[in-house]
Amino acid sequence: MKRLIQYHLTLLLLIQLHMSLPHAMAQNNKTQLAITNAWIRKVPTISTHTAAYFQIKNTSNKNRILVNISSPIAAKIEIHTIEKKNGLSIMQHIDSILIPSHSKVTFKPGGYHIMVFNFDQQWFDQKTVPFTFQFDDGSSFVEHFIWQ
Ligand SMILES: [Cu+2]
C-alpha cells in the first residue's frame, strides 16, 4: 500500500513537471511573439545572396527588441531596411529592431528583410530553412521558413 502511494506521488510529480516546465519556458520566449508568413526567396542558382521575410506580432505588455537572426544556411545574416535617398532605394544594415508591445512588424519585399549572404545552396533541397531569433533579454526561438 505504501509503495502504491509513493508510486502515485511520483507519477503526480512527473505530470506536474511535464505540465509546468514547457509552459514556463514558452512564457519566456515564444507564446507572446507570433511569427507568421515566414518565407525565404527561392533565387536562381547563380545568385549568391537571398532574403527572407515574415511578420512578427508581440501580444505581451512588454516591448521586445530583436537583436540577431542566425541560420545554418549562411554565416553572414543581417537585418536590413530599405531607405529612399535621392530617388534610390538603398539597403541599410540595422543592429536591432523594436517589436512594440501589442503591435506587429512586417518584414516584406521593399522594406525590412533578413539579408542572407553567400548561402549554402544545398538548402534548396530542404522544404524549410530554420532561423533563430534572438532578443535583447537573452531569449531566443527557432522559426522555419518556406522556400517561395
Ligand atoms: Cu538587404
Question: Virtual CA dihedral for 126, 67, 54, 46, nearest 10 degrees?
Answer: -50
pLDDT digits (tens, 9 = 90+) for 41-64: 999 999 999 999 999 999 999 999
Rounded to the nearest whole angstrom, what is the distance from the C-alpha of residue 64 to the centroid of ligand 1?
22
Task: Answer yes or no: do 44 and 16 share one domain.
Answer: no
Assigned C-alpha cell, 107:
518584414
Report the CATH number at residue 47. Answer: 2.60.40.1890
pTM, two decimals, is: 0.79
Rounded to the nearest whole angstrom, what is the distance from the C-alpha of residue 72 to the centroid of ligand 1?
18
Predicted local confidence at residue 13, as pLDDT: 44
Domain count, the chain: 2
Rounded to the nearest whole angstrom, what is the distance from the C-alpha of residue 103 to the centroid of ligand 1?
24
Task: Answer yes or no: do 83 and 127 share one domain.
Answer: yes
pLDDT digits (tens, 9 = 90+) for 5-16: 454 444 444 444
Name residues whose C-beta falls within 8 Å of residue 124's C-beta, 6 or more positions apart in sequence.
Answer: 42, 45, 147
